[in-house]
Chains A and B, each alone.
Chain A
């Protein structure tokens, strides 16, 4: 086992993931920060840009197991959380865990399924346990949901309401890779997915320790005041119907801590907050007048609000 400092190994994780999920270092870091902060990510993008690759690569390098659930309109809650099955041999019901019982779950096209199934997933996400037939089953730890949403196809979808969106720590978009990287992908001779070649750098218990370490990161009063200034500004902005909630503030603070740990620091600097404001808060804004589905608009508003708040130096 590696004896290096965990922070250094986290850097290595990012480096390794970066080799297979190329050109999206920022996205990898954000996802890892989310994971460290015990949060979940909502990826909003068209299919085929490498969401699965990202999830797989992360799972592989962190030594975590991974499942993927393709959400469809006929998907039932039991398809995700699992069912109790009557075993004729013993005459008892035994719980057959669903795909959610894994460290990293990729919930693909979450807006395609019915609100009922969505809420089952989201409840599991925030509670970190599922209850089936009055029996509570704890989900494995660490537990990260990477949900994806296709922002373009709206027919036959159930967009997540704001209250549900609030449960995601971040909302980010992947974006198509640059031409160079796509060129490299096309010309590379590797037939099998390069994800398989990734080594395991951490084990789950180590990762849990790192998650605990995030809680110990110092967030000074100045930075906290800055966070609150930004959140206060969202509540006052005329373009925003409902500003960021206190849960949003807590989520941002926690994300900042994780970000600082990834950067090898034991304290949060205002820059961390500035970087994370848009991914952490833009999906929590309830905009006035326009549809909340318009992700770019929300991000622009959030960016605009944040750019007008004086940052402490």
Chain B
């Protein structure tokens, strides 16, 4: 028995229900942070105010006046000041909740608090679409069901105090368990509705503006030296799924942005930024030489403060949206543009993440019949440099003639003679020459800049490329995760016979091995974030259809002709189905097992007799003891007198006298009694 004051339980659950949505709004950020923090403080105060019944001292009319005053204030704010409708509504909801917490005098007003908190929770969806929302929503459903049940119980006791007089109002274990089970059912039902109910994208309620993740190195001009700062940033910017299985290679260069002009200190772009295009699906064959069958890769890009789309080298084609998440409709429709640098940009507002697919193939280094386009002469421009640099360029080139050999020689030259460090030494006015001649230490930007300039000095068109290198395989969610700390610079150079090729002159750095536990936790967290984005935030009609198709396929068990796209969803759905079936089985087994184990053979035999006696119209009164009941049974069924007497002896002795008993014998006796009773049942009733 949980001897707890019902009123106290009710108060605690009520406050949990009120505070949860406010917390969500607070963590969602935006203009509501201050008001939600004040609201939480007010909630705390109202707890004490309610206990001291301060609210009773203010008349109902005053409370109404305050409520309508705030409604008017909110309307004014929305109509005449630059406050969004949603923000105004959220403010109003929070304020009303607080007022009601102070002025709750009757059951009706307490019910209003429940309704208000639910509306606040609904409003919170617009400001917080983080995974936290899912967790809080789960807790809210559980607490809400529980709270409403306790609310009802308490109100019954308030209106009918005689009930409390009979038995002290307690919340005993079975009752609490039934409540918990009900809450669980409600939660699972709402989840089922969430996944089954037809839906469209977020559309109207999508937040107006939210800052994307701020990125270093992807702006229009990049000064050397900024890179070292973000080396340790673990925030994931890109998650990549490989529907064809875990990739064998690990040396991924996620290409984002390239530059042509170097003024001796920083890189900048001088060519047409707008780019061509406008399709949401386009081929890039002509740009990067590739061979072999392309492999589809699904990418989920976090909201960034740039519109660049990372691609792999060499990407053959690119398409917005994935089989689970469609993109080209509604508020998040967008197009793909490719500019003169062959950087790929999207036109989707940057506050949302971008799901897209790319098809990658093997890099081809030999020429074929496809003639590459001419390289822009801008990729040959050089800043004013010292004669020592020209000397060094010749030395680095060696005796090579064709661009690929030159590039290989430069890579060897840089990797053998220079060391990688993120701990930057002081450099002077010409960072690259200082790096090449004085310090001989630096990070990828120095290596890439040096390599680009040496290539250009040797008349090979080249450009520096910023992006990400490597990443980590997340074995929890089975995808590739690229972090901000994986940012990297490398070089692309132009071979007139083949096209643009990749060169990474940075020597490998020794990476530290992460703590396995922290790493596992981080991976699990990140994997759940991806699931949350894929199955909750971006979950829409198309994804629903894909998931249901996969479910149907999994149930039918015959994998029909499927495109590569739906394979992933098939796997996921199969996993879900398996988990669901397993969970249900476990529940059923648990239930049966719990029931079985609770009833020992002794009690079961007695209950069997009792149940079948009841069917024959001999029911046991609530206050009729077992001995009296069995005696009564023996008089009603004289044919079974002897087995009943024996059963009674054994039963009473083992049940109340701690005597041992032979379960088989008892079972046999029970069967005899049951049979005899049934045989003579009708006679007995006559």
CB distance from A278 to the nearest CB of B (A): 11
CB distance from A312 to the nearest CB of B (A): 8
Beyond A236-B167, A309-B623: 19 further Cβ-contacts under 8 Å?
Answer: A218-B656, A218-B657, A220-B656, A220-B657, A222-B655, A222-B656, A238-B165, A265-B652, A266-B657, A267-B656, A267-B657, A268-B656, A269-B627, A270-B625, A271-B626, A273-B625, A310-B622, A311-B626, A313-B626
How many angstroms from the CA of A238 to the CA of B167 in the assembled complex? 11
A223: chain B residues within 8 A (beta carbon):
656
Within 8 A of B (CB), among A291-313: 306-311, 313
CB distance from B658 to the nearest CB of A (A): 6
A129: chain B residues within 8 A (beta carbon):
none
Within 8 A of A (CB), among B541-581: none
Whether B625 lies near A306 (C-beta < 8 A) is: no
- The reply to whether the CB of B341 lies closer than 8 angstroms to some CB of chain A is no
In the complex formed, the residue of A with least CB distance to B621 is: A307
Whether A307 lies near B656 (C-beta < 8 A) is: no
22 sample A-B contacts, Cβ–Cβ < 8 Å, listed by A number: A218-B657, A218-B658, A222-B656, A236-B167, A265-B653, A267-B658, A268-B656, A269-B626, A269-B627, A269-B652, A271-B625, A274-B624, A274-B628, A306-B623, A308-B622, A309-B622, A310-B622, A310-B623, A311-B624, A313-B626, A313-B629, A313-B655
In the complex formed, the residue of B with least CB distance to A221 is: B656
0 or 1 for each of B642-664: is its CB under 8 Å from A? (1 = yes) = 00000000001101111100000
CB distance from A79 to the nearest CB of B (A): 45
How many angstroms from the CA of A270 to the CA of B622 in the assembled complex? 12
CB distance from A184 to the nearest CB of B (A): 27
0 or 1 for each of A242-260: is its CB under 8 Å from B? (1 = yes) = 0000000000000000000
A268: chain B residues within 8 A (beta carbon):
656
In the complex formed, the residue of A with least CB distance to B657 is: A267
B657: chain A residues within 8 A (beta carbon):
218, 220, 265-267
How many angstroms from the CA of A146 to the CA of B664 in the assembled complex? 49
How many angstroms from the CA of A222 to the CA of B657 in the assembled complex? 11
A270: chain B residues within 8 A (beta carbon):
625-627, 656
B623: chain A residues within 8 A (beta carbon):
274, 306-311
0 or 1 for each of B605-618: is its CB under 8 Å from A? (1 = yes) = 01000100000000
In the complex formed, the residue of A with least CB distance to B623 is: A307
0 or 1 for each of B197-219: is its CB under 8 Å from A? (1 = yes) = 00000000000000000000000
Whether A313 lies near B625 (C-beta < 8 A) is: yes
- The reply to whether the CB of B166 lies closer than 8 angstroms to some CB of chain A is yes
0 or 1 for each of B156-168: is its CB under 8 Å from A? (1 = yes) = 0000000001110
B622: chain A residues within 8 A (beta carbon):
307-311
CB distance from A267 to the nearest CB of B (A): 3
Within 8 A of A (CB), among B44-84: none
B656: chain A residues within 8 A (beta carbon):
218, 220, 222-223, 267-270
Whether A313 lies near B167 (C-beta < 8 A) is: no
Q: Which of A220, A236, A266, A307 is close to B166, meaning CB atoms less than 8 Å apart? A: A236
How many angstroms from the CA of A309 to the CA of B629 in the assembled complex? 16
In the complex formed, the residue of A with least CB distance to B625 is: A271
B165: chain A residues within 8 A (beta carbon):
236, 238
CB distance from B90 to the nearest CB of A (A): 49
CB distance from A239 to the nearest CB of B (A): 12
How many angstroms from the CA of A269 to the CA of B166 in the assembled complex? 27
Q: Which of A222, A271, A307 is close to B627, meaning CB atoms less than 8 Å apart? A: A271
A266: chain B residues within 8 A (beta carbon):
657
Whether A267 lies near B166 (C-beta < 8 A) is: no
0 or 1 for each of A201-237: is its CB under 8 Å from B? (1 = yes) = 0000000000000000010101100000000000010
Size category of the A interface is 20 to 34
CB distance from A252 to the nearest CB of B (A): 14
CB distance from A263 to the nearest CB of B (A): 9
B659: chain A residues within 8 A (beta carbon):
267
- The reply to whether the CB of B472 lies closer than 8 angstroms to some CB of chain A is no
B620: chain A residues within 8 A (beta carbon):
313
Most buried by B among A220, A270, A307: A270
B5: chain A residues within 8 A (beta carbon):
none
Q: Which of A267, A274, A307 is close to B653, meaning CB atoms less than 8 Å apart? A: A267
B270: chain A residues within 8 A (beta carbon):
none
How many angstroms from the CA of A275 to the CA of B165 in the assembled complex? 27
CB distance from B580 to the nearest CB of A (A): 40
CB distance from A279 to the nearest CB of B (A): 16
Whether A313 lies near B658 (C-beta < 8 A) is: no
CB distance from B160 to the nearest CB of A (A): 14
In the complex formed, the residue of B with least CB distance to A309 is: B623
In the complex formed, the residue of A with least CB distance to B628 is: A271
How many angstroms from the CA of A307 to the CA of B624 in the assembled complex? 8
How many angstroms from the CA of A267 to the CA of B625 in the assembled complex? 15
CB distance from A311 to the nearest CB of B (A): 5
Q: Which of A220, A265, A307 is close to B658, meaning CB atoms less than 8 Å apart? A: A220
Most buried by A among B603, B652, B657: B657
CB distance from A230 to the nearest CB of B (A): 9
How many angstroms from the CA of A308 to the CA of B653 in the assembled complex? 26
Most buried by A among B610, B623, B627, B659: B623
CB distance from B72 to the nearest CB of A (A): 53
How many angstroms from the CA of A135 to the CA of B493 in the assembled complex? 124
How many angstroms from the CA of A237 to the CA of B658 in the assembled complex? 33
In the complex formed, the residue of A with least CB distance to B607 is: A313
CB distance from B325 to the nearest CB of A (A): 58
How many angstroms from the CA of A258 to the CA of B621 in the assembled complex? 25
A274: chain B residues within 8 A (beta carbon):
623-625, 628
A238: chain B residues within 8 A (beta carbon):
165
Whether B610 lies near A313 (C-beta < 8 A) is: yes
A311: chain B residues within 8 A (beta carbon):
622-626
How many angstroms from the CA of A268 to the CA of B625 in the assembled complex? 12
CB distance from A83 to the nearest CB of B (A): 50
CB distance from A313 to the nearest CB of B (A): 5
Whether B652 lies near A313 (C-beta < 8 A) is: no
In the complex formed, the residue of B with least CB distance to A232 is: B167
A267: chain B residues within 8 A (beta carbon):
652-653, 656-659
How many angstroms from the CA of A265 to the CA of B658 in the assembled complex? 12
CB distance from A300 to the nearest CB of B (A): 14
B606: chain A residues within 8 A (beta carbon):
313
A273: chain B residues within 8 A (beta carbon):
625
How many angstroms from the CA of A308 to the CA of B622 in the assembled complex? 7
In the complex formed, the residue of B with least CB distance to A218 is: B657
A310: chain B residues within 8 A (beta carbon):
622-623
In the complex formed, the residue of A with least CB distance to B165 is: A238
How many angstroms from the CA of A269 to the CA of B606 in the assembled complex? 15
How many angstroms from the CA of A273 to the CA of B610 in the assembled complex? 21
Given A218-B658, A223-B656, A236-B166, A313-B603 contact (CB < 8 Å): yes
In the complex formed, the residue of A with least CB distance to B652 is: A269
How many angstroms from the CA of A307 to the CA of B628 in the assembled complex? 14
How many angstroms from the CA of A238 to the CA of B161 in the assembled complex? 13
Within 8 A of A (CB), among B159-210: 165-167
In the complex formed, the residue of A with least CB distance to B610 is: A313
CB distance from A89 to the nearest CB of B (A): 60
B626: chain A residues within 8 A (beta carbon):
269-271, 311, 313
How many angstroms from the CA of A142 to the CA of B603 in the assembled complex? 40
4 residue pairs, one from A and one from B, having the closest CB atoms: A267-B657, A271-B625, A271-B627, A270-B625
How many angstroms from the CA of A268 to the CA of B627 in the assembled complex? 11
CB distance from B197 to the nearest CB of A (A): 46
How many angstroms from the CA of A306 to the CA of B622 in the assembled complex? 10
In the complex formed, the residue of A with least CB distance to B606 is: A313
How many angstroms from the CA of A223 to the CA of B653 in the assembled complex? 13
B628: chain A residues within 8 A (beta carbon):
271, 274
How many angstroms from the CA of A220 to the CA of B653 in the assembled complex? 11
In the complex formed, the residue of B with least CB distance to A307 is: B623
Most buried by B among A265, A307, A311, A313: A313
How many angstroms from the CA of A69 to the CA of B407 in the assembled complex? 130
B621: chain A residues within 8 A (beta carbon):
307
CB distance from A17 to the nearest CB of B (A): 23
How many angstroms from the CA of A309 to the CA of B622 in the assembled complex? 7
CB distance from B529 to the nearest CB of A (A): 52
